[in-house]
Amino acid sequence: LDSLGTEAQSTDVTQLETQTAPVPHQRLEEIPFYSPRKGAWKLKIPRHLLRRPGALKGFHQFLVHEADTGGLSRQEEVSMLPALVSDIQPWCKVLDMCAAPGSKTLQLMEMLVGSAWTSPAGTEPPGEVGSSVTRQLVTGFIQANDNSFSRANMLITRSQRLVLCAPHLLVTHHDGTNMPPLKDGTHNTVYYDRVLCDAPCSGDGTLRKDITVWVNWTPTLSFRCHALQCRLLRRALQLVAVGGTVTFSTCAMS
């Protein structure tokens, strides 16, 4: 949210009226765990209030426009963690196994290109340890995969907003549990430095915002998702390079 932070960081949203009642005094807050990137901000205004006619209409239109043109990405805080802990560097070959609808992929793309400006000493690619570089050439890429054709198309549409990152993105449509190996120009298998698997799940960890999840939850659903998650994790471990990192995440507690 860099553009949002620079344009609206010091702007108070004070007593903004909606159809029913004024919105309490709010101010943009930086998300602390995202530092030192300083690119994430939050505003505690419910979504349904943003969409109502009134004084917030202009702000909502600003958010929509910036999201459509790639100026910012709207994402839940907890959803930012998997990509953040993956430690993406500009030389990393990254596989996002279950990428759609694409919020984490967009984050990975931004981190891949943005890290070239901020990579400190000690984070160089293997074989180049000790080089003091402030601006690295981006040699890595992100392979965003999803087993749903329609969701993969949606991922392509979303990723087109980040024009500068587009040369480093490859979108594929495969079953993640049987992900075919990627080959380089000499037909050698490419192993990934980072593998992110945000696996399908029962979603019971999202009860705090959607109580209907509990109504539809069954033990059978949980066990079925668990078997799928194990197969995805096994394939991720087979595809990661020696010394690489697999980040596995779900929205479930079961």
Which active-site residues does the annotation give?
Answer: 251
The one-letter code for the residue type at 211 is: I
* Alpha carbon distance 118, 140 (integer Å): 15
Residues 99 and 146: beta-carbon distance below 8 Å: yes
CA atoms in the 13 A half-sphere facing the CB of 184: 8
Burial of 6 by CB count in 10 Å (0-12 exposed, 13-18 middle, 19+ buried)?
exposed
